[in-house]
Structure 1
Amino acid sequence: MISFISRVVDDIFSKQKCYDNLIFVLPSQRSCVFLKEEIIKKLPSSSFLPKIISIENYIQEIGDISLIDNTQLLFEFYSIYKQNLPKENIEPFDAFSQWATIALHDFNEIDSYLVNSEDFFTNLRDVKKLEEWFQDKKPSQLAINYLQFFEYLHILYKGLNKKLKNNKFGYQGLVYKEAKNNLELYIHNNIDKHIVFVGFNALNKAEEYIIQELLNNNIASVYWDANETIFNKFNEAGVFLRKYKSEWVYYQENPFLWIENQEISNQNINLIGAPKNITQIKYAGELISKLENFSKTALVLADENLLTLALNSLPNNVKNINITMGYSLKDIPIANLLDAIFKLHLNQQKFNKGIERIFYYKDVLNILNDPFLNKLYNETLQKISTKIKSENSIFLGLETIKKCLSPNEAKELSLLFSLFEFSTDMNAIITQCCSLLNELKEFVVGVEKEYLYRFYTIFQQLETLNTTYNHITDLKTLTLFYNQLLQNEKLSFQGEPLQGLQLMGMLETRALDFETVIITSVNEGILPAGKSDFSFIPFDIKKHFGLPTYQEKDSIFSYHFQRLLMRAKNIYLIYNTENDGYGSGEKSRFLTQLEINNPSITKSIISPKVQHIEVPLIQIEKTEEVLQKLKEVFIKGISPSALATYIYNPVSFYEQKVLEIYEDDEVEETIAANTMGSVIHDVLEEMYTPYLDKFLKKENIAKMQKKCNDLLTKYFRKHYLKGNIKTGKNKLIFEVSKNLINRFLKQEMQLLNENKQLKIIALEEKLNTEIIVEGINFPVNLRGIVDRIDELDGVIRIVDYKTGKVEANQLKLSDFSIICEDYKYTKAMQVLLYSYLYTSKMNKQISPLQSGVISFKNLNSGFIKINFSDKFRGTDYEVTEERIQDFIVEIRKLISEILDPAIPFIENKNLPF
């Protein structure tokens, strides 16, 4: 393969005898490097190297004006904005910046395409008037403000242009316009030079004018990179080149260099569909691993956001790699820490907690859990975190945090605690962030020092800008510009640009050729990028004044895509087969065009090989230490809920009872279901306690109903530490709890209205008894707390409150043998065990006796009793002595299994939830 750049160098050297007067102008810095290498190969050893420059730098030379930084440009624009608008119309900087970036983008296009600003803004204003004006009614104030905005836009444009030119700075469009105005002087001073433009395609109006003038003065040559296919009138890739060839006066008498007519024979083109980004990149890594030589191989990321993923997926045989894209600073861990610091203070303002100097707990935990800080302070931060969770504080101050530590520990964390104290002066905050980064550098080594230095320069830049312009007046604006600078800042990779695999973005491929090309994310919306509304200028105005629209941008992408494939032998085009939820993201139309023009293309759909790995169930043998711990647990007392945990999953039982591992405390911002259950239990206990051993009366229930609100407030404060129950979801949960209790009390009242006798025997009764289990050489203590024991019309009832939903079928039990096998029946096991404990305490047979559940999420079912009937829809509710003894036989079997040394704890693979 003879590359395009190689052919250009050969042609120029055959026509030019003197090389030191040559100036090569290329689309990018990357192509400049490749051209330089090609020239060094072919240049006589005694010659000087010609000048090689990118178009961006070349235009700045012609215009004798420097390119301004985007953030500084925004600050300059705000200064102009404040000078030219009435004081009452001036917006704060953060609001201004939201639309100013769009306006600056439009200004850039207006100047790049040499549009007459007077005509343009007059037309734009008139079009907007036509859009907003209604003949039968007066325009609204909103419409007037909207039209006034476009009136001001021209004033701002002129003011900004004037100030920038006076300071010898300009945004890209202004640089182009100045270069056009300065061109005559440039030509006069460089008449002995020969400028060679290499590998261009879509030129803006200023570039067209400059290149044509240089051509017409016979001091330039232009080498276009195209073939016959691109010049086909139906091919959108050739829109610009066909226009230049037919319209430029120079080409009426001079040849067009070049339209290549040599076709690459036996091109190996592969279209590969892969689900999701990770599969695309992993497959690209597999392709690269099969190659032996990477010197003429390019991995092109159409979506440059996949750079990190690509770097982590390269095979081991890639020893040298050249990366044209920078690594974004926002992907570096220290960025998360700074983001968490800003969010801490912004949310303090959002929740109006600045005067109290307290912070939202999630923001505090984000800082305490930051991996960078945890590396510095070991376990100290997790100690604070655990304490915060246990106290359930939604908002907390710095003093509260310090109390979690000893004085010495707090002293060691002085750097961390300084993050919680921000000044109201923005320059002081910037200085504080610089100081933080400066102190952190003592704790890092290697590349991390480079990270910190780059963040340090961002804050230095912010400090310089704010000292000059003084536009950053609040934390929100500071955060906005910090994030803007962060997105633009990238860490450049160092390496030998001409060796090894080339990892590139699409635009970096301009004028370059490779034998093997792998392109990822060849999908609509990425390649081509699709429509973008980042402009105030309507489509028809753009068309009228010759400004680029999405149609021209699609043509540009089409050209880059086709040109890259033009000389390649092995081509792998990978696209994402998974469309997004809105119907976009399908395979790029560029691939469909390729399929039509190349019937021999290889097409395939790939997917990751998912290996079925049989994960063995967790199995824990019962060692002497485990058996000893179990013995202690069963002598102390085992509860029905613990037995239910074993039935659910023996491994969970082992973790809780043997290892004593429980779930971590978490801050309850929203009241949890178990907290709500505890509150309802406590409220009902206090309500009914005055009436123990008494028959309830209607007036007793009425009295309880009046106390409901106060008691709920009391017990929510007890169980929901420092939580707010007056607003949001918690207020709703409070009201739901009140509604449930009131509905329950109404049911109690209904019983009394039916002249039933209801007597409260016990509340939250603690019961326990010892049983002997065959084969176990120590007594087993069964214990439990019964929510309520009452007597209704002579029937003793064991009642368990459940705030969750319980159905009657969960308490229908005719065969006791299944009670220890199926978790569904653990509620029945629980209340039957309470019945056994109660009868053991009373030391006599109690008849009639019923046992069951009151489910607060199924109150319509009332008291749901254990039903022993084996008939369909049959009922048999009496808990007899015989049934209790049959039940205890199964409980003994269950306990025997738990304590059997030969039976390990085996994970339940069919967990019910």
Structure 2
Amino acid sequence: FFSNLSKIKINDFFLKISSNKKFELKYFLSLGVINAVEYCISIFKLDIEDPFIIALIDNIFEFIDNNDDSIKSYLNYWEKKSENIMLSMPDNQNSISISTIHKSKGLEYPAIIIPIYDDKLDENISKDLIWLDEPFEDLKDLKWTLMRTSKNLQNMGENAKEIYDRSILNNLIDSINLLYVAFTRAEKELFIISKKDNSETNSFSSLIKDFLVYKSSSDKYTIGEKIINEYNPNTPQYESNDINKKIINVRSTSKNVNQAKYVSDTLSKIYDKDKSAKVYIFFGNEKLVNLVNIYDSNQNLKISSNYHILESDSSDYDYVIITNMNEGFFPFSTINDGVVKESEKIKFDNKSQQEQEHHIHDLFYELIHKAKEVHLIYDSDLTSLMSGEASRFIKQLEFSELDTYNYYEEVIKPKKIIKNIDSEIIKKDNLINQRIDDILKKGISASTLNLFIKNPYLFYQQKILGINDYEESNYLNFKDQGTLFHTVMDKVYSPYINKIFKVEHFNEIIKKLNKISIECFVELNSNAPKGKDLIFIEVLKKCIINLLNFERELVKKGNKIKILSLENNLTGSIRVKNNLDVLLTGTIDRIDTFNNNLRIIDYKSGKIETSYLNFKNFEILKDNHKYSNMLQLLFYKLLVSKKYKDVNELGLCYFKKYNNPYELIENSEKIEVSEIENLIIEIIESIVETESFKDSGNPA
């Protein structure tokens, strides 16, 4: 039932899911967006470990932090920003992560490759601006001046030279710190790609080389060779698992959902082991409670204590869990309304910042010292609200009192790995069969047949579901550009239908072309052209003038050209298996006669491959989408044959081709209409009989 819901229109979608008496639409619409997601997960039994669902919930959670918590608001946001939402890949997936050094801070990988080659240490220092006091001795009235940090400062007095030298030293220290961050990301192996010989003096390569020379440790550090330090069993190992010590578990993870899952999983483990355990949870971000409820199926959160830390009493807790242990969340300096009693909030707000931090410090360590097991969780994702920086309290615990507790730090990894899917496959069902019947009755075009041959999944997506992926823009997209070409051609040639062309006719068209092009653009776009569209109109005029000049020269040489119809909408009927009548539809750009020979011409503003206009056999047209232009022309010949007896030539008018813009199919008059009809029947029957729609990988 639910697998078919994506194949119907949005209104029918809600009617369908409401009709099964499990989903209440009115109730759903009354919910905030997070609670609405939780409701859908419950009703539709969605996999809450799915990385895509996790990424969606994380994005919603960040959205409602600064926006209206409503389904409508989030859907408006989704329409504009969904393509920029990134999926955090699990650490245990076989993949390569490409990152800046800054963004990798706090993360670890089995192997790190750092291609620094010969990057300069002071590459960006000249961008720094500084204020100089009395920069010029001769200009006493000039007290201050703003200057870039450059070598020129060395020649502007002692004060300026000292500022320059200090900038160089600070930059060197920053560079060393940056390299430290990069090198310490590696768990097992570190590869540095650096310039060995003739490196710049002031470069990362020279810095590394000087360090290796200074250390003179050829047994540990070499250039160009991999060194593996063998394990020495005689080396004493640090033992930190004293069972009598307090346990401090520090967990870093990406964003908020994984924090909520960790809280839920930890509560389950605690209460499965001891139903009477005393557990205290402080949510650094109180909204995280909503996420925990999604994963807390046993409702363990209700039997734990989770009031604000400012209202914590002197009770002893067996377990303490604190989330969002990031700088900015903990310690905190502000409290949202309604989170604590008004009297407590006023008392806290009246304290100085130093007094606030002292108070939080005392409450935090009182909880820590009384508990036998502590869980501290923070967000290490640099793209999230708190920029991935752990709270100062975590840093304090890491480097102090190691003899009184066991300290464990770990990255929370998603449980589910994203599986590689070779291609999307949609199995056919009754709903799809009904939709195909509707399409065949309303009319099927050559482009629809070509789409099925090119990529059955895109046929399903565009024709069955009605989804067309055209990028929104202030300018004409590629589809509208093609439409504009056709519209202008129709307007400029229409006055001469059923007339034998004369040379002066082409001159008249060229004079009117600019005005007609602008009018057609406004008609299509409802606005005057601007920016890139003005450039496109100039290209369009140039291409059309090229065609007009070519045909004018043909007429000068005595050839006769007469246009019979433009943008002619033709239909025809064809019968396939099971006596199914199929309506064929097509809009033929141009039907004309050239020296009394009837021609079908299709306009092409995009690129064409002429090698696929050589007719070989009908079988190749059924399987190879690259022959789409030929199939389209043959389809048109079938439609035109109902009105005209003999079609002598089939061809394309390729606007961007100079000299001769026409590409004609050789010996097209020898291709029998009955053979074309059999070809179209076979393609339509393959659509009707296919069991699935598989993504071939070919783009639209």
Structure 2 residue aligned with 1:309: 291
Structure 1 residue aligned with 2:652: 852
Structure 1 residue aligned with 2:300: 318
Q: 1:267 aligned to 246, 249, 254, which one?
A: 246
Q: Residue 682 in 1 paired to residue 487 in 2?
A: yes
Structure 2 residue aligned with 1:360: none
SS across alignment from 1:601: strand
Residues in 1 aligned to 2:569 and 2:308: alpha-carbon distance in whole angstroms: 72
- Alpha-carbon offset, residue 656 of structure 1: 8.3
SS across alignment from 1:837: helix
User: What does the per-residue CA deviation read over 1:526-577, in whole Å, with 9 as the maximum and x for residues that have no partner?
Assistant: 44579xxxxxxxxxxxxxxxx9999998777666544432222111122223
User: What does the per-residue CA deviation read over 1:358-406, in whole Å, with 9 as the maximum and x for residues that have no partner?
Assistant: xxxxxxxxxxxxxxxxxxxxxxxxxxxxxxxxxxxxxxxxxxxxxxxxx
Residues in 2 aligned to 1:560 and 1:624: alpha-carbon distance in whole angstroms: 62
Structure 2 residue aligned with 1:743: 542
Q: Residue 819 in 1 paired to residue 621 in 2?
A: yes
SS across alignment from 2:415: coil
- Relative to 1, partners in 2 of residues 1:582 and 1:661: Cα closer, same or farther, differing over 3 Å? closer
User: What does the per-residue CA deviation read over 1:85-123, in whole Å, with 9 as the maximum and x for residues that have no partner?
Assistant: xxxxxxxxxxxxxxxxxxxxxxxxxxxxxxxxxxxxxxx
SS across alignment from 1:503: coil
Tell whether the 8 Å contact from 1:576 to 1:587 is kept in structure 2 after alignment: yes
User: What does the per-residue CA deviation read over 1:657-713, in whole Å, with 9 as the maximum and x for residues that have no partner?
Assistant: 8x8968899999876654554444233212101223445556434433443454345
- Relative to 1, partners in 2 of residues 1:749 and 1:653: Cα closer, same or farther, differing over 3 Å? closer
Structure 2 residue aligned with 1:759: 561
Q: Residue 881 in 1 paired to residue 670 in 2?
A: yes
Q: Residue 570 in 1 paired to residue 373 in 2?
A: yes
- Alpha-carbon offset, residue 795 of structure 1: 7.8
SS across alignment from 1:731: coil
Residues in 2 aligned to 1:866 and 1:516: alpha-carbon distance in whole angstroms: 81
- Relative to 1, partners in 2 of residues 1:865 and 1:693: Cα closer, same or farther, differing over 3 Å? same
Residues in 1 aligned to 2:589 and 2:462: alpha-carbon distance in whole angstroms: 23
Amino acid at match of 1:906: S
Residues in 1 aligned to 2:668 and 2:412: alpha-carbon distance in whole angstroms: 63
Q: 2:603 aligned to 780, 786, 801, which one?
A: 801
Amino acid at match of 2:246: Q
Alignment of 1:55-204 (within 5 A): 136=141
User: What does the per-residue CA deviation read over 1:312-366, in whole Å, with 9 as the maximum and x for residues that have no partner?
Assistant: 444433373xxxxxxxxxxxxxxxxxxxxxxxxxxxxxxxxxxxxxxxxxxxxxx
Q: Residue 595 in 1 paired to residue 398 in 2?
A: yes
Residues in 1 aligned to 2:249 and 2:660: alpha-carbon distance in whole angstroms: 69
- Alpha-carbon offset, residue 655 of structure 1: 9.0
- Relative to 1, partners in 2 of residues 1:271 and 1:766: Cα closer, same or farther, differing over 3 Å? same
Structure 1 residue aligned with 2:589: 787
Structure 1 residue aligned with 2:219: none
- Alpha-carbon offset, residue 742 of structure 1: 0.6
Structure 1 residue aligned with 2:530: 731
Tell whether the 8 Å contact from 2:470 to 2:477 is kept in structure 1 after alignment: no
Amino acid at match of 2:695: K
Q: Residue 896 in 1 paired to residue 685 in 2?
A: yes
Alignment of 1:118-517 (within 5 A): 136=141, 265-292=244-271, 293=275, 296-318=278-300, 320=302, 500-505=303-308, 507-509=310-312, 514-517=317-320
Structure 2 residue aligned with 1:641: 447
Amino acid at match of 2:259: Q
Tell whether the 8 Å contact from 1:799 to 1:853 is kept in structure 2 after alignment: yes
Amino acid at match of 1:854: Y
- Relative to 1, partners in 2 of residues 1:883 and 1:581: Cα closer, same or farther, differing over 3 Å? farther
Q: 1:521 aligned to 324, 335, 342, which one?
A: 324
SS across alignment from 1:594: helix
Amino acid at match of 1:514: Y
Residues in 2 aligned to 1:505 and 1:808: alpha-carbon distance in whole angstroms: 73
- Relative to 1, partners in 2 of residues 1:291 and 1:886: Cα closer, same or farther, differing over 3 Å? same
SS across alignment from 1:269: strand
Query: What is the RMSD computed on CA atoms of the aligned residues?
Result: 5.2
Tell whether the 8 Å contact from 2:379 to 2:386 is kept in structure 1 after alignment: no
Alignment of 1:658-669 (within 5 A): none
SS across alignment from 1:799: strand
Tell whether the 8 Å contact from 1:765 to 1:786 is kept in structure 2 after alignment: yes
Between 739-748 and 807-816, report the one with greater CA deviation: 807-816
- Alpha-carbon offset, residue 788 of structure 1: 1.7
Identity of aligned residues (%): 26
Residues in 2 aligned to 1:644 and 1:665: alpha-carbon distance in whole angstroms: 19
- Alpha-carbon offset, residue 794 of structure 1: 8.4
Residues in 1 aligned to 2:441 and 2:351: alpha-carbon distance in whole angstroms: 84
Give the greater-gyration-radius structure (CA). 1
Tell whether the 8 Å contact from 2:456 to 2:695 is kept in structure 1 after alignment: no
User: What does the per-residue CA deviation read over 1:286-322, in whole Å, with 9 as the maximum and x for residues that have no partner?
Assistant: 11122335773222222345343344444433373xx
- Relative to 1, partners in 2 of residues 1:557 and 1:825: Cα closer, same or farther, differing over 3 Å? farther
- Alpha-carbon offset, residue 653 of structure 1: 6.2
Between 889-898 and 667-676, report the one with greater CA deviation: 667-676
Between 641-650 and 581-590, report the one with greater CA deviation: 581-590
Q: Residue 834 in 1 paired to residue 633 in 2?
A: no
Amino acid at match of 1:843: K
Structure 1 unmatched runs, 5+: 1-129, 141-262, 321-499, 531-546, 868-876
SS across alignment from 1:644: helix
Residues in 1 aligned to 2:442 and 2:141: alpha-carbon distance in whole angstroms: 88
Tell whether the 8 Å contact from 1:648 to 1:908 is kept in structure 2 after alignment: no
User: What does the per-residue CA deviation read over 1:199-258, in whole Å, with 9 as the maximum and x for residues that have no partner?
Assistant: xxxxxxxxxxxxxxxxxxxxxxxxxxxxxxxxxxxxxxxxxxxxxxxxxxxxxxxxxxxx
Tell whether the 8 Å contact from 1:294 to 1:501 is kept in structure 2 after alignment: no
Residues in 2 aligned to 1:506 and 1:794: alpha-carbon distance in whole angstroms: 93
Residues in 2 aligned to 1:295 and 1:626: alpha-carbon distance in whole angstroms: 59
Q: Residue 912 in 1 paired to residue 698 in 2?
A: yes
SS across alignment from 1:291: helix
Q: Residue 579 in 1 paired to residue 561 in 2?
A: no
- Relative to 1, partners in 2 of residues 1:319 and 1:586: Cα closer, same or farther, differing over 3 Å? closer
Alignment of 1:589-628 (within 5 A): 590-597=393-400, 598=402, 600-610=406-416, 617-621=425-429, 626=434
Larger RCO: 1 or 2 (CA < 8 Å, sep 6+): 1
Residues in 2 aligned to 1:278 and 1:623: alpha-carbon distance in whole angstroms: 36
User: What does the per-residue CA deviation read over 1:781-835, in whole Å, with 9 as the maximum and x for residues that have no partner?
Assistant: 5332211234668886533234555555776774543433455543442233223
Amino acid at match of 1:786: I
- Relative to 1, partners in 2 of residues 1:845 and 1:790: Cα closer, same or farther, differing over 3 Å? closer
- Relative to 1, partners in 2 of residues 1:738 and 1:671: Cα closer, same or farther, differing over 3 Å? closer
Residues in 1 aligned to 2:392 and 2:432: alpha-carbon distance in whole angstroms: 69
SS across alignment from 2:267: helix
Structure 2 unmatched runs, 5+: 1-132, 146-241, 334-349
- Relative to 1, partners in 2 of residues 1:853 and 1:509: Cα closer, same or farther, differing over 3 Å? farther
Give the structure with the larger helix fraction: 1
- Relative to 1, partners in 2 of residues 1:742 and 1:698: Cα closer, same or farther, differing over 3 Å? farther
- Relative to 1, partners in 2 of residues 1:270 and 1:581: Cα closer, same or farther, differing over 3 Å? closer
Amino acid at match of 1:607: K
Tell whether the 8 Å contact from 2:424 to 2:695 is kept in structure 1 after alignment: no
- Alpha-carbon offset, residue 638 of structure 1: 3.4
